[in-house]
Chain A
């Protein structure tokens, strides 16, 4: 889909998209109610929107893409909630998809964390609320400032700081307990 959709996409936008696609995919895994297919649909609709009316400058494109992905995810979750037939699936889903087992193509030299550490972090993230997972991703994967995160998620600055401090504290405790 990407190749077809990008058939006539401007080169700066294409480069931005190539750099952001996987990051957005991992961000989407913060929304536990979305299935792998839902996430891919959101990604594709974001690509189309970006292609049609997204900014070409990288500095503007990054927050724009996160905002569009976030809004599309929330819309999709609303639709899923309305559909009672999806409830069974939702309950069974967890923090998985892009965060499923590591890609076997990655060799040991690519791995910074040990296998135990990866599964520990994965388990920890799976137990978090969607909102906390989202904040953790934006802070530690995207390196957004507290202000940027607050603006993107529509949360107060104090709440962002407080929630992230809580996530770090609990992860450290979880790590000490599990690795002891």
Chain B
């Protein structure tokens, strides 16, 4: 093997190893980052989705009650019904933690 060829082979092999090593290091960093950051995000998304479903179920129940009341010739929900509906929805949403993101953007009460 000529000197030139030997030198070329050494450099090619060296650079190939360096690229592989860098690639492996980056992949490992990405994996460790996602393990730290993505799992809590997934958990949080799952938890919020559960509360959101609870809220939807509550809205659906109250809507059915209001509709059936209205269909039966009564006044539907009425002012008191709206207050009860609002407070019930607020309670469900608060228990589900759905107000937490809102608190982050709303100004603090004086």
CB neighbours (8 Å) of A169 from chain B are: 3-4, 7
- With A and B bound together, what is the CA distance between A102 and B15 in angstroms? 12
- Cβ of A172 within 8 Å of any chain B Cβ, yes or no, is yes
Interface string of B10-27 (1 = CB under 8 A from A): 111111111111111110
Top 7 closest pairs, chain A to chain B, by CB: A172-B3, A141-B15, A103-B21, A140-B11, A22-B22, A168-B7, A171-B7
- Cβ of A92 within 8 Å of any chain B Cβ, yes or no, is no
The reply to whether B17 and A118 contact each other, CB–CB distance below 8 Å, is: yes
The reply to whether A112 and B17 contact each other, CB–CB distance below 8 Å, is: yes
Smallest Cβ-Cβ distance to A97: which chain B residue: B22
CB neighbours (8 Å) of A26 from chain B are: 15, 18-19, 22
Q: Scan residues 103-148 of chain A and give those whose CB is less than 8 A from a CB of chain B.
A: 103, 105-106, 110-113, 117-118, 121-122, 125, 136-137, 140-141
**In the complex, how many angstroms separate the beta carbon of B77 from the nearest chain A beta carbon?**
43
Q: Scan residues 63-104 of chain B and give those whose CB is less than 8 A from a CB of chain A.
A: none
Measuring CB to CB, which residues of chain B are less than 8 angstroms from any residue of chain A? Answer: 3-4, 6-8, 10-26, 28, 30, 33-34
The reply to whether A140 and B21 contact each other, CB–CB distance below 8 Å, is: no
**Given A168-B4, A168-B7, A169-B3, A25–B22 Cβ distance below 8 Å?**
yes
Q: Interface residues of A toward B: which range? A: 35 or more
**In the complex, how many angstroms separate the beta carbon of A60 from the nearest chain B beta carbon?**
21
Smallest Cβ-Cβ distance to A173: which chain B residue: B3
CB neighbours (8 Å) of B34 from chain A are: 3
CB neighbours (8 Å) of B20 from chain A are: 22, 103, 106, 110
- With A and B bound together, what is the CA distance between A140 and B16 in angstroms? 9
The 9 sampled A-B contact pairs (Cβ below 8 Å) are A103-B20, A112-B17, A113-B17, A117-B13, A118-B17, A168-B3, A168-B11, A172-B3, A173-B3
The reply to whether A99 and B18 contact each other, CB–CB distance below 8 Å, is: yes
The reply to whether A168 and B19 contact each other, CB–CB distance below 8 Å, is: no
The reply to whether B24 and A171 contact each other, CB–CB distance below 8 Å, is: no
- With A and B bound together, what is the CA distance between A75 and B22 in angstroms? 24
- With A and B bound together, what is the CA distance between A116 and B51 in angstroms? 61
- With A and B bound together, what is the CA distance between A65 and B101 in angstroms? 40
**Given A103-B24, A106-B24, A111–B11 Cβ distance below 8 Å?**
no
- With A and B bound together, what is the CA distance between A152 and B109 in angstroms? 61
**In the complex, how many angstroms separate the beta carbon of B37 from the nearest chain A beta carbon?**
9
Smallest Cβ-Cβ distance to B19: which chain A residue: A22
